[in-house]
Amino acid sequence: MTSQWALPLLLAAGLASWGFFHVVPTRGDRAFLAYVLIAVAFYIQSLRNGTERPATFTALVAAEYAVSTLLFTILYRLSPWHRLAGFPGPLWLRFSALPRVILTFTGKRHIILDNLHEKYGDFVRIGPDVLSIRRRAANSVVYGSSMDKPESYATPGHLPSNSLFFKPPSREWHANRKKIWAPAFAAAASSSSWYIPVLERRAWDFLHCVEMRQSRSPDGFIDLSRALGHWAYDFMSEMLFGGCGNLGLMHSDDPEDIVEGGKLAMALWDCLSPSPWLVDLAWHIPPGKNMVRLREDCAKKMVHRVESSDKVLVPDLASYWLNAEEHRPTLEDMKVDAVIAQQGGSDNTAITLSLAIFFLVTSEHGASIAKLRAELDEAFADPTGTLNLDVLGQLPFLNAVIQETLRLGTPFYLPRQVGPGGVMLDEKYIPEDVTVVQAAWSLQTSPEYFFPDPQLFRAERWLPEGLGPGSQIDKSVAYSFSNGAYMCVAKSFAYQELRFMLARLVLAFEFEMAPGFDAVRFRDGILNMRTTFLKHPLMVRARRRPGIVIPDAV
């Protein structure tokens, strides 16, 4: 290749590559492998041609080709001919998905997007082909029947399996798989569910766990959020795998950091998913080891559960998969579904309970938790007696506390892909294949829908009388469990679980924050990346209320 033709050829190659990748979706790991193989072939050919310093020459050509491809890609994305050119948004988010990856790693994506909406309006371009929408009316459109999950929901590692959570092969497939899951959680959400004895036993186990850890703590304070994470994993593992899923994290304190590893896996996936090719690459390198480990741990338990099917006497979630009469999942599918059930069913519950305790104890100088305890004492004469799920479901303030915690604690980012033909949303036309996402945090903390004090925890806003004259609340503006076809199948059960555990904790214990605990600093340190991280531990001391005798967990 002569210097006269080198630059034009490299520019032509870059233009052709941009055109190819613009039309043909390509896995990141395969594209990278092809790039490396072509570079190696070019190097070998340079050796054969007697090129001076072939390694340097190959590196230079490879770099120039990559720059050429990126140049054409960026120019198109910033051009007036791009299909989203008419939507406002910051320049730094338009040219690549990588800035959105960095933005997600901050844990403050929801706040940054909220600030962008304040500056640019209800429709903001936050990626080359991504729109964030701050319109309540968008809910039925974005999460309705016409939109599917985008490529960012592709199963990490491109495993030969399908899952209820990741991008499904089709809507029909998703509906059939959901029919298998739904009876399990419908049964779990009933007041006569066979899950209740497990939940009751694990709840008593947790109360003992709290006291055990406090007795070992030099000052009597413990990280309650960490303990709740261990409880949730233990409970969900038993609920999922039955006797094959005994982790014992409450007693061992999770020396292998199973819970933290699961959170890191979800965070890494969420942060990299704006650029699916990064997820493809991460699966093969050390930073992605938590994603691989989470999948392998659940896969081993699932295999053990399948092998022990003839010994299972009490139903579990896996029973519904294994006993499905139609569209029974393959073993590979069940391995991935097990990851989703284990991680999704434990992590969100643990963090919601943690935040509920935080808000209750620190809001209005403890008046909120006193009000909740009074409501529970009136409903249950024996604080250690049976907690009837139907009664819990009718307690106004208990349910208000949970709703308010979910409102402030779930700034979820749930993208969808516009279907063929595009869609009209109010006065805006959005082309097909564009990714759209509802700005959940912006809506859930908007004074238009939650007034007054939309940023503050005030559970009374969910009661019939609200917060007094002029108060506003729109119960339809809630995205904690998503909506539409992809709504969380375990929503009803999750509410039952949250009511039960929060009631059990408040009936049994009085809570005290550690000396020097800064509520503002703690809340500023809440980071959301699909999962939620707490930069500062929730240091709490729990004291038994007078006369409380905690039964031994059997």
* Binding site listing for heme: 488
Asked if 545 and 510 touch (Cβ cutoff 8 Å), the reply is yes
Question: For residue 435, how far is the Cα from the chain centroid?
Answer: 18
Annotated binding site: 488
Q: Which two tokens stand for residue 457?
A: 């925890």
Which residue is listed with tokens 């305890």?
373
d(CA 9, CA 19): 15
d(CA 271, CA 287): 12
Which residues is 425 bridged to in the sheet? 428
- SS3 for 469? coil
The values of phi and psi at residue 425, to 5°, are -125, 110
Query: Minimal CA–CA distance to 227: which of 550, 541, 549, 516?
Result: 541
Query: Minimal CA–CA distance to 10: which of 69, 90, 65?
Result: 65
**Class of residue 235 by CB neighbours under 10 A (exposed 0-12, middle 13-18, buried 19+):** buried
DSSP assignment of 143-200 equals TSTT-B--GGGSPGGG-S---SSS--S-HHHHHHHHHHHHHHHHHHTSTT-TTHHHHH
